[in-house]
Amino acid sequence: MDAGAPARRPLPTVTSGSTVPTVYTNMHSVLTISQADPRPLYLQVKEQIRHLVAMGDWAPGTEIPSIRALAAAISVSVITIKRAYLELEMEGVIVTRQGKGSFVAERAGLAPDLRNAELDDHLKAALRVGRSLRLGVEDVAARLAELDQGKES
């Protein structure tokens, strides 16, 4: 291995059972796939990888598990992981280098952009709920501030 190449990480450990979701553990990262989650499996994988990158658990340039290794580790189809990786690559979150593997993209501002996008999704959902309750943006913001200060009503 050349000096500039990222170190290979150990193979993941897996726990699974009929009532326990499959867990993929690698360093401080955990990927959990739930058959009870109504979202497609590839979307669960994709969103969790985006979250790991956003939080800095998978830093830019970090080699990520191969499609086959991850599929085997979390007991899903190779096609499921391939679709998640393809979409992440199209979004610029990961890059695949022929013969070398897949890596977290080394784009400046990637993690903050992903954090903002994830937060935006949650805030948009809160606004939708607020509107359905006939609350304005100011009311939702005020409630958020109250919750932050521990003033739950």
Give a yes or no: residue 3 inside a domain: no
Q: Report which secondary-structure segment, H or E, holds 104.
A: strand 101-104
User: Do 95 and 117 share a domain, yes or no?
Assistant: no
User: Do 97 and 115 share a domain, yes or no?
Assistant: no
Residue of 89, 27, 32 lying closest to 59 (CA atoms): 27
15-69 confidence digits (pLDDT tens) = 344 334 444 444 334 788 888 999 999 999 999 999 999 999 999 999 999 999 9
Q: How many CB atoms lie within 10 A of CB 95?
A: 17
User: Do 27 and 72 share a domain, yes or no?
Assistant: yes
DSSP state of 152: -
Q: How many CB atoms lie within 10 A of CB 76?
A: 19
Domain count, the chain: 2
Residues 6+ apart with CB under 8 A from 98: none
74-116 confidence digits (pLDDT tens) = 999 999 999 999 999 999 999 999 999 999 999 999 999 999 9
User: Do 93 and 122 share a domain, yes or no?
Assistant: no
Give a yes or no: residue 4 inside a domain: no
